[in-house]
């Protein structure tokens, strides 16, 4: 039952017009949708934004800062081997654009082609960030495809987890490999949608869906997203989030695209929670055929 005392009932209440019961019910439903807590957990911390973003390929730190702000992201990743976070006092510091008190930093091992280099990079990140254990592991197989070397990835992940790191891991869209990485102790598995920086969108929806259905850790699509509809598809498949960089940074208007990606993530997530109608081969009339007036 609606408690009408909680709502304005006359114009003398701070100038509001009276509301009908239908309007009151609509306000309640809108509030419930808006206020519904829908978060996911990474390394024991809750996040409401399901969009994770990178910091590469922007024209300068100001554009980086503005795009990240427009995206609404709470987790920001950066390639430690290519980014200054204090190693060089004479160069712009990325942490001026993404202060650690505002964002969760996610150092990654982009540019690493063997397990040893990836592990060393993560340890350097922990030293530079005062004991920060959250990392994104990627061990690449070759420079043309930038596909993950899954054998080296397993090797690096095992060593890092044994060393106390919280590992979010980039991998291919193989459900068996995703399961192995989860069983190894990775706190999130991040299958690619398509090759890094390709913008091709999700090439294998069924595999992504299978990974999601079998996982007990967060699954985040990583790499290959090109536009907001790609992000929405990933969320409609049940992914916990999407990580992207080039799709925003390489857009004609990165700040506007960051905003579009934010909305795409939110729309896809709501569609997943709502439950889409079943796909049918033939038409189904919107209006019932029974009970016609003439």
Active site residues per annotation: 136
Q: What dihedral angle (degrees, nearest 10) is formed by the CA atoms of 42, 43, 47, 49?
A: -40
CB 50 within 8 A of CB 261: no
CB 56 within 8 A of CB 64: no
| Contacts for 90 with CB less than 8 Å, ≥ 6 apart | none
Q: How many CB atoms lie within 10 A of CB 186?
A: 26
């Amino acid at each position: 039952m609606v408690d009408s005392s909680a709502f304005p009932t006359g114009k003398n209440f701070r100038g509001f017009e009276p509301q009908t019961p239908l309007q009151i019910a609509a306000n309640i439903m809108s509030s419930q949708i808006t206020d519904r807590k829908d978060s996911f957990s990474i390394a024991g911390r809750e996040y409401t934004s399901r969009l994770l973003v990178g910091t590469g390929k922007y024209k300068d730190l100001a554009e980086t800062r503005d795009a990240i702000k427009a995206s609404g992201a709470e987790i920001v990743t950066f390639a430690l081997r290519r980014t200054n976070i204090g190693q060089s006092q004479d160069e712009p510091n990325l942490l001026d654009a993404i202060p650690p008190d505002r964002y969760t930093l996610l150092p990654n091992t982009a540019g690493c082609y063997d397990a040893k280099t990836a592990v060393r990079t993560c340890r350097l990140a922990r030293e530079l960030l005062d004991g920060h254990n959250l990392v994104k592991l990627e061990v690449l197989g070759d420079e043309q495809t930038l596909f993950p070397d899954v054998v080296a990835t397993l090797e690096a992940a095992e060593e890092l987890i044994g060393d106390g790191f919280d590992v979010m891991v980039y991998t291919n869209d193989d459900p068996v490999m995703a399961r192995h990485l989860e069983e190894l102790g990775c706190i999130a598995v991040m299958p690619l949608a398509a090759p890094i920086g390709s913008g091709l969108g999700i090439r294998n929806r069924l595999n992504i869906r299978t990974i999601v259905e079998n996982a007990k850790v967060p699954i985040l699509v990583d790499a290959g997203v090109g536009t907001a509809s790609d992000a929405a598809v990933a969320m409609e498949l049940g992914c916990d989030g999407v990580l992207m960089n080039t799709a925003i940074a390489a857009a004609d208007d990165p700040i506007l695209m960051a905003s579009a990606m934010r909305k795409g993530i939110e729309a896809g997530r709501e569609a997943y929670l709502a439950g889409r109608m079943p796909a049918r081969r033939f038409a189904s009339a919107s209006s019932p055929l029974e009970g016609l007036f003439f």
